[in-house]
């Protein structure tokens, strides 16, 4: 190896991606140690980083060209040793001259003084702060002023951040392209910064009381086309996610829906007080929409003191608007929380409206979670979808073996997931095998489907009689 040209060895090392392999390879010779150290661009460290300041200084000395660093202290306890503190962050920021991307998660010992050191990182493009309890507005303002190349900012569970001077500064500069915020308000202060923003996520920290209908009444009279003095231009926005917010206190976020001409991906998770007018305005503006996720729960929409009816925010009117105006839609994810299992229920969508959307757009990926309006007739109509490649059904009790027979004839279907579908049996799974079309099949917690029936349907089969850990976490979160 020592006789090989350095350029050739470098190219060989670029083909190796596993960190453990690179660590082992660097022990083979001094040449490999040096070359590997010079080309290492990313590291991830956390609770195992004892004597954090000294250790991180050594890492920066060994890897002089680090561009991406993640420091994650999730699961940390005092017995793991001292966390990285302000002094350590200063040493780190002064030694890592090529830093572009930095993530700090659960770093409890870093405050505004330490964060201000990042102002020396002139090449910093992306900063993610996750659960940094000591960070306040002063530190963020220092970053905003000093890091002039910053284009991505994630601010999640930083509860001491209150002033929005830093947000106003970033908005005036207009350099941010991606902004993810959790538990923060006054986003209208971002001002003209909205003009260049391409990705925006806003989520309010959810409590158990937020899962039930609150005091906010469904606003059926809101006109999404109405001009508002707080309106800004959102023409660069391509990805938008709003989660667990009440729209009329954050009225500025509501008007975003009708102003995103370049929007491609939309995710609305349990957003209160929206109505069909919002979706109509969005569909008319967003002809390039490719992906939509609607996670809906029950909300009151009557001001009657003695009787307050509840249902999900949108009706078939919204589905018709999407079908008519968003002809590039390829991915649909519908999830319903807290609705009665019997039809008719509080879900505002019907199977008729849903099928109009599916048959009008080139849907390739479809996820239905607790959609009690969907049954075997819907599966029959779905089977004629010429583009459908991936279908995921969760807790869809009205889909039976007959539905499996229909869906097995879908022209391009290659990936199917069934979770908590209690009326599908071995007979229905056998129908899937007869078609010989599937490339992957996932079956979880479908009590009438056996492991034996699932085997052989396709080469890639995942079967479990229990709900997966990921899905269990979601379910336990709501119940």
- Domain spans of the chain, in order of start: 1-39, 41-197
Q: Given this model, what pLDDT does residue 211 score?
A: 41
Our CA dihedral for 304, 308, 312, 315, rounded to 10 degrees, sits at: -50
CATH code of domain 1-39: 1.20.1280
For the chain, count helices (H), then strands (E).
Answer: 17, 18
CA–CA separation, 450 vs 82, rounded Å? 50
Question: Which tens digit of pLDDT belongs to each residue from 103-117?
Answer: 999 999 999 999 999
Question: Which tens digit of pLDDT belongs to each residue from 345-369?
Answer: 789 999 999 999 999 999 999 999 9
Among 334, 428, 328, which residue's Cα sits nearest to residue 374? 334
Six-digit token string for 429: 């799974």
Topology agreement, domain 1-39 and domain 41-197: no
CATH code of domain 41-197: 3.80.10.10
CA distances from 392 to 208, 211, 285, 415 (A): 27, 24, 29, 8
Pick from 68-72, 92-96, 322-326: least confident: 92-96
> Residue 399: enclosing H or E segment and its boundaries?
none
Strands 310-311 and 299-300 turn out to be: antiparallel
Identify any residues that bridge with 42 across adjacent strands, giving them in sequence order: 68
pLDDT band at residue 102, thresholds of 50, 70 and 90?
very high
Q: Is the pLDDT of residue 9 over 80?
A: no
Neighbour count for residue 335 (Cβ, 10 Å): 19
Q: What percent of the chain has pLDDT over 70?
A: 86
CA–CA separation, 7 vs 307, rounded Å? 76
Q: Given this model, what pLDDT does residue 456 score?
A: 86
């Amino acid at each position: 190896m020592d006789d090989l040209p350095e350029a050739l060895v470098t190219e060989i090392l670029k083909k190796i991606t596993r960190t453990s392999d690179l660590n082992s390879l660097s022990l083979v010779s001094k040449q490999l140690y040096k070359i590997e150290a010079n080309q290492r661009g990313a590291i991830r460290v956390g609770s195992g980083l004892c004597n954090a300041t000294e250790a991180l200084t050594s890492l920066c000395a060994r890897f002089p060209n680090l561009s991406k660093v993640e420091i994650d202290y999730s699961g940390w306890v005092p017995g793991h040793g001292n966390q990285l503190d302000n002094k350590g962050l200063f040493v780190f920021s002064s030694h890592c001259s090529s830093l572009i991307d930095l993530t700090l998660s659960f770093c409890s010992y870093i405050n505004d003084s330490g964060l201000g050191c990042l102002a020396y990182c002139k090449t910093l493009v992306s900063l993610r702060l996750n659960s940094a309890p000591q960070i306040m507005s002063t530190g963020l303002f220092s970053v905003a002023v000093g890091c002039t190349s910053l284009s991505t900012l994630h601010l999640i569970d930083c509860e001491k951040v209150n002033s929005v001077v830093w947000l106003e500064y970033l908005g005036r500069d207009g350099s941010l392209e991606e902004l993810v915020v959790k538990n923060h308000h006054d986003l209208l202060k971002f001002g003209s910064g909205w003009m260049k923003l391409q990705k925006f996520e806003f989520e309010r920290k959810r409590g158990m009381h937020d899962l039930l209908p609150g005091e906010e009444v469904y606003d059926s009279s809101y006109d999404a086309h109405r001009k508002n003095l707080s309106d800004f231009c959102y023409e660069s926005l391509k990805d938008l996610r709003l989660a667990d917010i009440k729209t009329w206190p954050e009225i500025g976020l509501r008007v975003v829906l009708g102003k995103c001409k370049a929007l491609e991906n939309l995710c609305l998770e349990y957003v209160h007080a929206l109505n069909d007018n919002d979706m109509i305005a969005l569909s008319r503006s967003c002809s390039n929409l490719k992906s939509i996720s609607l996670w809906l729960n029950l909300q009151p929409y009557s001001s009657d003191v003695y009787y307050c009816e509840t249902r999900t925010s949108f009706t078939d009117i919204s589905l018709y608007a999407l079908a008519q105006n968003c002809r590039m839609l390829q991915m649909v994810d519908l999830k319903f929380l807290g609705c009665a299992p019997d039809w008719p229920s509080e879900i505002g969508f019907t199977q008729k409206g849903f099928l109009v959307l599916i048959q009008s757009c080139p849907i390739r990926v479809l996820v239905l979670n607790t959609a009690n309006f969907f049954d075997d007739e819907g599966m029959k109509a779905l089977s004629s979808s010429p583009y459908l490649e991936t279908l995921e059904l969760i807790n869809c009790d009205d889909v039976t073996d007959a539905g499996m027979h229909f869906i097995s004839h879908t022209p391009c279907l290659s990936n199917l997931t069934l979770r908590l579908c209690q009326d599908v049996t071995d007979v229905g799974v056998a129908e899937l095998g007869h078609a010989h079309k599937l490339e992957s099949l996932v079956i979880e917690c479908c009590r009438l489907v056996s492991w034996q029936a699932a085997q052989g349907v396709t080469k890639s089969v995942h079967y479990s009689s229990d709900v997966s850990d990921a899905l269990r976490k979601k379910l336990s979160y709501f119940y």
